[in-house]
């Protein structure tokens, strides 16, 4: 199934060519903000951290301190690294879309243009459902 390939065999079959010459090009523009207002990301982070707080309060156990701290670090890192990525954009002048512009123009997705209301619902449905699920789990555990 596997076969040893010697350096001589590789040198015999290799085709060495010069490196391609790159013409001077303007750097490509990359939108690192995903065109969404910062407020939506803040609500998403708050929902995930709220879920962790609900779980920590509902199932308060000293043995859960380390896992909850790890989960919190992952959530903060998962949103903090992209935040730094946006700020490190090389003089692109791009910023996240303002809430007013988002509300008036909406956002273009892969399939169609969405209104601000539809885009907000689509973006926040999972974090809100996770918080509701956490409340339901803690309520059921408290009643049983």
Query: Which tokens in the block code for residue 75?
Result: 């959530």
Predicted local confidence at residue 108, as pLDDT: 87
Q: Can you give the pLDDT at residue 82?
A: 82
pLDDT under 70: residue ranges of the chain = 1, 27-32, 89-94
Entry pTM: 0.74
Whether residue 52 contacts residue 75, with contact meaning beta carbons closer than 8 Å, is answered with yes
Phi–psi pair at 46, nearest 5 degrees: -60, -40
| Domain positions in the chain | 41-87+99-144
Q: Report residue 144 CA to chain centroid gap.
A: 36
Instruction: Check if the beta carbon of residue 48 is closer than 8 Å to that of residue 130.
Output: yes
Contacts of 120 (CB under 8 A, 6+ apart): 40
pLDDT of residue 93: 62
pLDDT at 91: 60
Nearest to 99 by CA among 85, 119, 113, 80: 119
89 is written with which tokens?
A: 């954009």
Secondary structure element (H or E) that encloses residue 31, with its range: none
Q: Summarize pLDDT for 87-122 with one digit per residue, the tens.
A: 776 665 667 788 999 999 998 888 889 999 999 999
């Amino acid at each position: 199934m596997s076969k040893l390939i010697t350096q001589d065999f590789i040198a015999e079959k290799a085709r060495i060519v010069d490196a391609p010459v790159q013409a001077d090009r303007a750097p490509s523009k990359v939108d690192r903000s995903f065109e969404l207002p910062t407020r939506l990301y803040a609500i998403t982070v708050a929902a995930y951290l709220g879920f962790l707080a609900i779980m920590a309060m509902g199932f308060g156990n000293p043995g859960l301190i380390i896992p909850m701290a790890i989960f919190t670090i992952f959530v903060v890192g998962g949103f903090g690294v992209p935040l730094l990525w946006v700020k490190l954009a090389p003089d692109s002048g791009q910023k996240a879309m303002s809430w007013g512009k988002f509300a008036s123009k909406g956002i273009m997705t892969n399939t169609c243009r969405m209104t601000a209301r539809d885009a907000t619902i689509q973006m926040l449905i999972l974090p809100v459902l996770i918080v509701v699920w956490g409340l339901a789990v803690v309520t059921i555990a408290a009643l049983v």
